[in-house]
Structure 1
Amino acid sequence: MTGMTALLIYIVWTLILALSYATYRLPLVLTGKKAANHWERGQPVDDPAILVRAKAAHLNCLENLPLFAALVLIAAATGQSDTINAVAGFIVAARIGQSLVHLIGTSFPLVFIRASLFLAQVALMLYLAFALI
């Protein structure tokens, strides 16, 4: 998988997660069951648990998306695409895996798996950063 393809998949996955909880909320607003500003930060959360986790998984994706994008673009700009191509698919797979585990639940074993997948992404991105220097 090329770095650019991996980046595109990462972006699409992040958007899917955003839509997963936004599509639940939109009908509630349109039918007048909830105010449009009902979900402001700091207010009590009354969404179903899976939607709360979907929002958290979406925000988790946004944490590392700029870093991953920068690595892919630096590799492309410096003619080092082969370096990123070898690892990019693993980063995206770990990201999607982390999100899926987050959607499943928050038990200790699931949080441990999620943390392990996060650390794998960070380790791979650090590897790439040093390889691109």
Structure 2
Amino acid sequence: MPLAYWCVLVAALLPLVWAGYAKAGGDVDNHCPRDSTSDLPPKHRRAYAAHYNAYENFPFFAAAVIVAVTQGAAISTVNLLAVTYVALRVLHGLLYVFNQSTARSIVYGLALLANIAIFVLPAFR
């Protein structure tokens, strides 16, 4: 199984890391966790925002990897770009938590470019 598929698994689980950190920051009512996030300290509220952002960006990444692998893109390049994407998404979450908005936006853009590159790779084989 390609390394890129393992990266899809990591990217699928990454939102849970941010949500776990967010919930560890205060008293979150698990019956209605979204309602109680406003009571969290700022760093943990930002972790919850990173959680949402990771979920929002996951479908395109998963689709891009599947398209690239099934359409015959060079697997070594797909793997490299997938690892790069996951590393950038981890960094994005950390920058979100530590309130580095400009750097976070730059990293977001780089991860998006890596994802687009994965998706279009088969066109260049």
Per the normalisation by structure 2, the TM-score is 0.81
Paired residues of 2:15 and 2:51 also in contact (CA < 8 A):
yes
Runs (5+) with no aligned partner, structure 1: 31-35
List per-residue Cα deviations over 1:38-96 (Å, max 9, x = no partner). Answer: 743xx882211122011101111112100000011112322333341121111111100
Aligned residue in 2 for 1:16: 17
Indicate the structure (1 or 2) with the bigger Cα radius of gyration.
1
Residue 103 of structure 2 corresponds to: 113
Q: Which runs of 5+ in 2 are unaligned?
A: none
Equivalent position SS for 2:93: helix
Aligned match of 1:55: 48
| C-alpha spacing 1:47/1:129, structure 2 compared with 1 (3 Å) | same
* Alignment coverage as a number of residue pairs: 121
Output the TM-score relative to the length of structure 1: 0.76
Q: Which of 100, 121, 124 lines up with 1:131 in the alignment?
A: 121
Q: RMSD between aligned alpha carbons?
A: 2.5
Q: Which position in structure 1 is the counterpart of 2:92?
A: 98
**8 Å contact kept, 1:75–1:83:** no
Among all aligned residue pairs of Structure 1 and Structure 2, give the percentage whose two residues are the same amino acid.
Answer: 23
Does the alignment pair 1:122 with 2:95? no
Aligned to 1:7: 8
Higher helix share: 2
